[in-house]
Chain A
């Protein structure tokens, strides 16, 4: 009803406003024009006086009318802004909730970290939501109430027992349960340009002591005045004159609210007058409670990086990691005291000033009998204790938030994301994100030292997803992980080098003409381009490796063998494979793409490898789980999508080759570290070592790492010496689960001619084959008899069959450079 009225009111008053503006002009001109006219007929001075009087009256009436219209205009403006949604609320972004259930593999280290990042406090007796503690070996967690995307859940007391690293029993309020969630961590917002952040709170939820303290300190006559307080102004003037400077403001809470909410910070009489009128109007329309509530939500209380902290609800979370209701007296007084000057009294930077101010507020509170003397003494005896401003609960995840924003912007308008307080539930795993950030920071520093750079030169990016669902669990877009600038994980287009090779081998396997035991040649290769130039790729070690099993060319990332194979299976077929893997961009059918002379972002590489990791399903990496309005209506919930691009069997076969990278190739170091070779991976190094890549997955996660320089100059690092250690460190921190096969393949021994033979008839390697493919090739029992084994034809070179591996073993981990690439 009121909303329907508003537009007419506003438009009426605005037309009047233009009329009003003209009035003063008329007023000035009128006497000048009329005066000579009046003089002309030569009338008596009395009639002139009368005329002037009548003009005066007319003008006064006009002015009163003008003032009236101006007030109506102000009133309309005020009411339209103050009714309904007063603030633009940034979208809130949440990580995935930590689900707890019997059988879950969960380190107590992770549990503790996730609780603390979520601002849970360790206590000896768990009686309040938002706290946790131990009871013997059991963990007690008092989960807060929370509106999850799918349901509102009350606060519950959780008891967990552990056995062999897993959750054994889970009870909720004494009852055995199968599943419970810890509310998700807040990981950032999507802010409008001014980066104003706030959390709304109802007056009823604010502790009475806080309201009393606020009124006592800022505006004692608040409940008695009508918006402006003459007594207050006089008192302030008296105090200021006595002190010889401005020590006290005469503004009421209402005026402060008007100033912050409707007006600018300009110091002029005009503004002051407007402020006073608006304060009166505000009091006319709204109750003291409404005004207080708006004040408590509007008030500015500090800055955190780009974010400005508004409202006491957000401020108490920001400074004390608590709900407003949980604040103690000392904290209440500090918060109220800070309103006067949030940066001057900032408790992080100026604890002494903050303390003095808090004590002053407590004195006032005691004076007015809001608190007893004992309470005052107790509260004043407390140290200023604030939660670290850089702690995880207030940390933002720039690279991840950027991807969230980008994925949502295809479905929603940016303004809606910035203004309407949407709640975005994402896939981020804070524990993995933490592991990824730490690994990158640690290794980039180490690698720089090793390379002898004396200033920051290297940059890095990483994407971690779940293998089966393509849920993005962690993203880092720069070594400066809190940096909101260029996001290399999404936007750096870098040459992928050997990361392209699995696509070449997949094309070969899919053609049905090749299997891993096929013998291919690593002779030097030379291809004439369309412009007459020659393409002559060399191996990393500048050597020819002769004839070898296809799997060894893949494992050791041989350029010449791969280029030859790619030419044989067909460049356009390889291009087609890229498209089927989910690469949605034009790839020119040049021979050089076989060796990765094409640029992709780490996220695009992730998408390509996701198809290998998921068993053949091409899926977009996904960050959003659900999106709700601020009052919890689900707008969209996103489900697992994707199409089967390759058969699981074919992918399983390819994965054998990718595991050989770890068994015997460029990723061998991982096998030693993790004590398993059940990891599928590929190193990538671009020309002149401008880019160092590593992409690999275990049974749960896929991680793609890029390392290089922003100026695209060469580095001393290959994929195995630069990016691999970062990958390794991430999985060391978060745990590695050996790969399990997707499907069973057929296995057989082959001799050095690539023939299927019994092991005792010269079988040198056991290799996988597509199911059923052996029947046509092999004789009875799948293996040819010893007598029938060939002794001529293409044969793997002895050096590549055996010696190669032993020579690598001798060198151990001291230098990878010789056998890399």
Chain B
């Protein structure tokens, strides 16, 4: 009987503790984990005029740190500072080394600069890390393909 009482008490306590931790701990923990750069993926925008191309480097939804860098890259690009833009993109890549959307943007800018060899290897990486689990992944896939065609055509393949 005493054992039963102890058991019941323990059981209640466990429930109490779990609900408590669920209330206080979970929201902030999920916030930190939501932004885990290995988990949070970029999402391409769909309601844009040109479906198979991007207009700006910073369009779409990204990890907050990557978003900051893409915005800076876009500003630099608009001011004609292309090397600067590339270095922001490379910083974004180092934060998310397997984000297909970043590789695509690096390839996209290199294409505008005529660095076709760089475009090829960056697109290979963009394809390697393209995951079907990402929302709107077909958009990114189409964009990668389109850029690939353009780069191949320029190189005379």
Which chain B residues (11-50) contact chain A, with CB distance < 8 Å? 25, 28-29, 31-38, 40
B90 lies within 8 A of chain A by Cβ:
yes
* A-B CB contact pairs (8 Å), 27 listed: A99-B65, A101-B37, A101-B63, A101-B65, A101-B95, A103-B34, A103-B64, A105-B36, A150-B87, A162-B32, A163-B29, A168-B29, A177-B68, A178-B68, A468-B97, A469-B97, A615-B128, A617-B125, A634-B83, A637-B83, A637-B86, A639-B86, A639-B90, A644-B121, A644-B124, A737-B38, A743-B128
From A161, A467, A640, A648, contact of B90 by CB (8 A) = A640
Q: A150 to chain B: which residues have CB within 8 Å?
A: 84, 87-88, 91
Q: Mark A146-159, 1 if CB is under 8 A from B, else 0.
A: 00011000000000
Which chain B residues (106-157) contact chain A, with CB distance < 8 Å? 106, 118, 121-122, 124-125, 128
**Beta-carbon contact of B121 and A179 below 8 Å:** no
Q: B68 to chain A: which residues have CB within 8 Å?
A: 101, 177-179
Residue of B nearest to A181 (CB): B91
**Beta-carbon contact of B65 and A102 below 8 Å:** yes
**Beta-carbon contact of B98 and A179 below 8 Å:** no
Q: A161 to chain B: which residues have CB within 8 Å?
A: 28
Give min CB distance, A622 to chain B, whole Å: 11
> By the criterion of a CB under 8 Å from any partner CB, how many residues of chain A are at the interface?
39
| Known contacts A166-B32, A167-B32, A617-B121, A179 near B90 by CB under 8 Å | no
How far is it, in angstroms, between the C-alpha of A163 and the C-alpha of B31 when the chains are bound? Answer: 8
How far is it, in angstroms, between the C-alpha of A139 and the C-alpha of B36 when the chains are bound? Answer: 19
**Beta-carbon contact of B88 and A640 below 8 Å:** no
Q: B36 to chain A: which residues have CB within 8 Å?
A: 103, 105, 166
Residue of A nearest to B90 (CB): A639
How far is it, in angstroms, between the C-alpha of A641 and the C-alpha of B124 when the chains are bound? Answer: 12
Q: A99 to chain B: which residues have CB within 8 Å?
A: 65, 91, 94-95
**Beta-carbon contact of A639 and B118 below 8 Å:** yes
Q: B63 to chain A: which residues have CB within 8 Å?
A: 101, 103, 178
A642 lies within 8 A of chain B by Cβ:
yes
Q: A169 to chain B: which residues have CB within 8 Å?
A: 31
Q: Chain B interface residue count: which class? A: 35 or more
A394 lies within 8 A of chain B by Cβ:
no
How far is it, in angstroms, between the C-alpha of A105 and the C-alpha of B35 when the chains are bound? Answer: 10
Q: A637 to chain B: which residues have CB within 8 Å?
A: 83, 86-87, 90
Residues of chain A touching chain B, judged by Cβ–Cβ distance below 8 Å, are 99, 101-105, 149-150, 161-164, 166-169, 177-179, 466-469, 471, 615, 617, 626, 634, 637, 639-644, 648, 737, 742-743
How far is it, in angstroms, between the C-alpha of A617 and the C-alpha of B103 when the chains are bound? Answer: 14
B52 lies within 8 A of chain A by Cβ:
no
**Beta-carbon contact of B94 and A103 below 8 Å:** no
Q: B29 to chain A: which residues have CB within 8 Å?
A: 163-164, 168
**Beta-carbon contact of A103 and B40 below 8 Å:** yes
From B33, B86, B90, B128, contact of A103 by CB (8 A) = B33
**Beta-carbon contact of B90 and A163 below 8 Å:** no
| Known contacts A626-B87, A643-B121, A648-B128, A102 near B31 by CB under 8 Å | yes
**Beta-carbon contact of B64 and A179 below 8 Å:** yes
The 5 closest A-B pairs by CB, nearest first: A103-B35, A178-B64, A101-B65, A468-B97, A166-B32
**Beta-carbon contact of A466 and B97 below 8 Å:** yes
Give min CB distance, A500 to chain B, whole Å: 26
Known: A150-B88, A634-B87. 9 other contacts (CB 8 A): A99-B91, A101-B68, A163-B33, A164-B32, A166-B32, A169-B31, A179-B68, A471-B94, A617-B125
B77 lies within 8 A of chain A by Cβ:
no
From A168, A469, A634, A643, contact of B32 by CB (8 A) = A168
